[in-house]
Each structure stands twice: as C-alpha cells, then as structure tokens.
Amino acid sequence: MDPFQVGSFLTAGILVVTGLWALLMMDNILKKIIGANLIGDGVNLVLISIGYRPGGFIPEVMHHFHATATPSDYSYLLEFGEFASNASYSLPFALVLTNIVIGASTLSVMLALAVVLYHKYHTLSVQKMFEGDE
Amino acid sequence: MLNNSTLIPLMVVLPLIMAILVNFLHQKDKSVKFISIVSLIVFVIVPVVTLYGVHLFSGHLRTGSFPEISKMLIPEVYMGIVYSYGTLQKILMLVLTIITGFSVLTVINKKMISGVYVAMIFISLASTSAIMLADDIFNFFVFTEFLVVAQAALVIAVQETKSFKAAFKYMIFGTISGASILLGIALLLGSYGLLNITDLSNAIAAGGQLNSIGLSAVALLTLGWLYESGLFPFHIIKSNMYENAKPEISALLQVQSKFVLVAMAIILFRVFSGYALLKSVMLGFAIFTVVIGSVMALQQIELRKLLSYVAVSQAGLVAVGLGLGTSFGIAAGIFHAVNDVLSMAILFFVASFVYDKFKTTNLDQLREGLHIAPLVGFVMLLATLAISGVPPFNSYQSEWRLIQAATQAGLPELGILVILLSVATFVAIIKAFYMIFMRPGPEVEVNTEVRGTMTKAIIVILIIACLGIGLFPNVVYDPIYNFVLSLGV
C-alpha cells in the first residue's frame, strides 16, 4: 500500500474516532452534531482512499466508457493494458459525492432540531435538555 | 433469464415524484388530497401488475463473455444498479402500500392534510420500497438514510418537545448507523470491487473463508441492521419514535422498520451466507429484544408507549425466526413480519381513535369506553387475540411455524420464548383494553365531534385480513417459503 494511502486511512480513522468521541462524550449539542459530521467525513475519506492509485489517471476521460455500451464495446479495454494498470477506481468517488449530499441533508435537519431545542430550553447542554427523560 | 421489467422502478420513482408534487402544492389542500388519493391507488396497483424480474438502470443483463477488466473473482457482473422483484417483494410491497394508504387516508380524514407531511410519507414509502427492491448495496444504503430523515420528519411534524427530542436522538444514532453501514460497504468494495449484492455474494463464496476485513464488514453491517430494525440496544430509540409520532403514522413506521429488518437480514444472509456466526449474533440480539421489549411493555400505563414496546418485542420475534438461519425459520420469521405488521397496525389505529375521541392515551384516565365505541373495542379485543397468536388469526400460524422451526433447529427453548412472548403481549394489551373499554368509574370527557368512521373502516378491513391469512395461511406463506428456498441461504 502506498504511504499516501496509509496516511489517508489513518486520517480517516482519526476523524471517525474524534467524531465518535464528540458524539458520545460531549455535552454541547452543536459539538455532537459536528462529531456526527466528522464520522461521515472519515468514512468518505476511507472510500476515496480505496479508489486512489499512485500516479493513476481518471477513467472518466475515456469517451467510449458510456452507459449504453454492450460487452463487445469493452473488449478493447483488454488490449489497453495501460487502462487496467493505471486507472484510478472511480466508483468510490461517485459514492462519496452521493454521501456528501445525504450528509448535508441530515446535518441540516439535525441543526434545525438543535435550533428548536435551544429555543425551548435556552441551553445547548444535551444533559439539561434531556433531563428527566427515561 | 429474468424479465427486464420496466415497471419495477416505478415503485420507487412514483412515490418520489408524487412527494415532490404534493410538496409544491403545500397549502392547496384540495389538490393535495386529490393527488394523494389517486397516487395511493396507483401505488397499490403497480406492485400487482408488475412482472417478476429485474430492472437494470443502464448496463446490461448478465453475460458470460464480459471481460475481466478488474481481475475480479467472478467473470460475470452487472454494470449499473439492479432492482429485483420477486414473490416476497410483491407481498411486502402490497402490505406496505396498503398500510401507507390507510395512514394517509386517516391523515386526510382528520383534516391534518399538509403537502409537506404527505410528501414525507411518500418519501418514506419510496425509501422502504427501494430497500426491499435494491440488489445494489450502496443504493440500499442511500435509501436507508432517506428513510431515517423522512421518519424523523414525520415525528417532528407532531410539533411537541418530546417529538423533537425523539427525532434528534433517532438522527444522531442514525448517523452512527449510517456511517457503520457505509464503512462496511467501503470495506467490501475495497476487497471485492463490487456493489451488486448477487455478485458480491458469489465473489465472497468463491473466496472461501472471510478475512479480517470481511469480518469487520459483517460487524459494521450488523450494527446498522440492529439500528434500522430497532433491535436491542436501539430498541428504546425506535420505541421512542413510535410513541411520539401520531399513532396512525406509528402504524406506518412499524411496518417500515419490520420490512427493513427483513430486507437487510436477507442481504446479510445472501452476502455472508457461509458465515455461521452471523446467525448466532442475530439470534442473540433478537432474544434480548424480545425479552426487554415485552418486559417494558408490561410496565407501561400509556397506550402508545405500550404499543411501541410491543412493536419492538414483536420485531425481535421476527429476528428470532431469521436468526435461526434455516429456510423454515427464515420463512416463518418473514411470515410473522407480515402478520405482525397487520395486527400492530390495527392496534395503532385504535390508539389513534382513542386519542382523538378521549383526548388522551393515558390508561389511568380512561374507562368505560365500550358503550361509547363498541365496534372499536371489539376490534381491539380481536386484534389483541390476533397479535397474541390465538387461533384462527394470522399470528397463530406464524408463531406456530416459528416454534416448529426452533424445534427443528435444535433450539426448543426458543419455542418456549415465543409462547412466553405471546402471553406477555396478551397480558399487556388486554390490560390496556380493560382500562380503556371495561373499567368502571366516572365518565370521561369525550370529543363528540369525532366519529372515526374512516378509522373504524380501516380496522375492520385489517382484522378481516388477519382472519383471512389465519384461515388460508398458505396463500402468503408458500410464496415466502419458495422465495427463501430460492435464496439458498
């Protein structure tokens, strides 16, 4: 594994652990939400790192790689050794883009809830908000 | 070769389009009402007329001559997202769309009509449909996230502080669960380069023993499954959601949760079919859920809270069947999911009527309701018998099969657990029935404007369905069993 990729995985691990710590240990509702977001970012980084290839090129530049292609259209790829050995794996990038959009919508709903709860309790402390709940 | 049916994606696309439409028509109540009713009819018809098969979003059907461009373990792959529609999906889709229809009709009948509210119901319908249809693990993940947001929005719409807090907790834990599922998917993608569940299953089976990365993926996906299904240790989060939503929406939420439980368990079984420990882990969490859920239900004096815990414990029972891991056990578990959602829906609709009629669901404040609403009381009694597994109702058939499956699997003690749960469920709900409808005492305040004709019609239809399945179980059970056999898990 390339050192850059190792570094990416380690960073992702740190992000996830930090996020979990913030989510479970911090009392401030905003810090909990930021923690939740950090976990998502960490997972996104794992996905991006999976698709990384040192010195690789982006498959999307290949114009023949389109949705309506049939199996025979792909046969030239076999002869195109450079593609097989040098292309980055592009699928994770698409997944990350989707997850960023989902993460943004989830984040916005959680922030809206935090605003409402703040107006009700005039505090950002989760402990005070949920005091007395079972 | 399976049919490439173009109607399959309509089960997801139509609710999404209608959700956008009714959202734009917010505050135009007549238009929202008209579109909602027409949409609901279409939503029920589409699963009926759709042919069994697969739908490919771009790409091509499975072929033997696909070049090995990524040196994958298997030579045949689908390119693009695939939706697969079989007998099991048809049964689940029918039940889901019908209960969704009943929930929306109740909402309309109560003049709570709101474009945004109906939009959220439609998005949750689309998400659950996609979860059941998707043969692509990332597509599955995307719609679980949609479902979490839509369900939270339905609870937020109650506009009470308790509901805000329930939705917040649900979303926070949903973030952990979502990240867990996605990380599991990322590990599988990194190891096998695949997202299609069928291909992934073949690749993992061809690869032999799971390595440490594969085991981590199993653990992460199982954690996500526990959350999405509302099983232990997430049972309180889920029951909190049921309790704080409007009861007619709780009826819908419990259907969605149980069907997601089934769909995700099937995915786990298919992908990690050779990993025996998974079934034991599932069974362990299921038993905890059954025990804790039923004990909590027995302690409640608030109808909605009581029903929430009953719903959670019954989800545990579904998971017990799945966790047995045998074809018979899995089929019995899925059959119980179908039966249970119908019985639970009746009880939640009864709670909806009680809340509207008596302005409370606190059992201490309710009494002598039978002369005010005799039909509702009678149907609640029948639903209590149904959910407790008393013949000739539907849950009797599934619980009997669960006991048989447990005995066949060499775990007869689980049969005793099923019987104990039935007794606990009966005691918990019959207590509520007595306190609402039979207990003598001074008259309670009644909202005379509430006639509840729609709710009464719905609960009568549902109890007839419960009785029908109880008398003719093979109409539902046989297709489920054949589907489970075809999975080969």
Dump pLDDT digits (tens) for B430-450. 999 999 999 998 878 888 888
Q: Note the pLDDT of residue A83.
A: 63
Per the structure block, which two tokens stand in for B424? 């606990």
Instruction: State the pLDDT confidence band at B64, using cuts at 50, 70 and 90.
Output: very low
* Residues of chain B contacting residue A105, judged by C-beta atoms under 8 Å apart: 149
Task: Judge whether B174 is closer than 8 Å to chain A, CB to CB.
Answer: yes
How near does any CA of chain A get to the CA of B170, in Å?
10
Confidence of residue A4 (pLDDT cuts 50, 70, 90): confident
- Are A84 and B69 a contacting pair at CB < 8 A? yes
Q: Which of B123, B124, B182 to mutate to test the interface with A (most CBs of A within 10 A)?
A: B182
Quote the pLDDT of residue A86: 67
* Amino acid (one-letter) located at B239: S
pLDDT, residue A50, reads: 86
**pLDDT at position B138 over 80:** yes
Q: Is the pLDDT of residue B68 over 50?
A: no
What does the mean pLDDT of chain B come to? 91
Choose among B65, B172, B193: nearest Cβ to A71. Answer: B65
- Indicate the angle between helix axes B303-324 and B247-271, nearest 10 degrees: 10
Whether pLDDT at A90 is above 80: no
Stretch B449-466: mean pLDDT, rounded? 94
Domain boundary assignment for chain B: 3-487
DSSP B232: T
Using a CB-CB cut-off of 8 Å, the residues of chain B touching A99 are: 182
Amino acid found at B252: L
Nearest Cα neighbor of B163 from B53, B43, B304 is B304
Dump the DSSP string for B323-340. HH-SHHHHHHHHHHHHHH
Q: Do B186 and A43 touch (CB under 8 A)?
A: yes
**B220 at A interface, C-beta within 8 A:** no
Give pTM, 2 decimals: 0.93
Within 8 A of B60 by CB-CB distance, chain A residues are: 70-71
Residue contact A110–B168, C-beta within 8 A: yes
Categorize the per-residue pLDDT at B75 as very low, low, confident or very high, splitting at 50, 70 and 90.
very low
d(CA B309, CA B165): 18
Q: Which chain A residues contact residue B58 at CB under 8 A?
A: 67-68
How is B398-444 classified by DSSP, letter by letter?
HHHHHHHHHHHTT-HHHHHHHHHHHHHHHHHHHHHHIIIII--SSPP
Nearest residue, CB atoms, A102 vs list B65, B145, B161: B145
pLDDT score for B73: 38
Out of B67, B175, B186, closest to residue A46 by CB: B186
Q: pLDDT exceeding 90 applies to what percent of chain A? A: 57
What is the CB neighbour count within 10 angstroms for residue A60? 12
Radius of gyration of chain B (CA): 22
Residue spans of the domains in chain A: they are 3-57+79-129
Side by side, which strands form the sheet with B3-4?
B3-4, B53-57, B81-85
Q: Is the pLDDT of residue A1 over 90?
A: no
Contact A50 B190 (CB under 8 A): yes
Residue B111 pLDDT greater than 80, yes or no: no
- Using DSSP's 3-state secondary structure scheme, residue B448 falls into coil
Flag whether pLDDT at B66 surpasses 50: no
Q: Residue B396 above 50 pLDDT?
A: yes
Residue-wise pLDDT for B261-272, tens only, equals 999 999 999 999
Q: Which of A6-10, B89-93, B207-211, B389-393 has the lowest mean pLDDT?
A: B207-211
State the nearest Cα–Cα gap between A57 and chain B, in angstroms.
Answer: 15
Distances (CA, A) of B474 to B92, B325, B332: 15, 21, 12
Which of B179-183, B194-198, B213-217, B379-383 is least confident?
B194-198
A120 in reach of chain B (CB within 8 A) = yes
For residue B1, pLDDT beyond 50: no
Range picked from A71-85, B56-70, B79-93, B212-226 for highest mean pLDDT: B212-226
The mean pLDDT value for B241-258 works out to 96
Nearest CA in chain A to B296: A134
Where does the pLDDT of residue B88 fall: very low under 50, low under 70, confident under 90, or very high at 90 and above?
very high
Instruction: List, as ranges, residues 63-82 from B with C-beta within 8 Å of A.
Output: 63, 65-67, 69-71, 80
**pLDDT over 80 (residue B72):** no
- The verdict on domain A3-57+79-129 having CATH code 3.40.50.920 is no
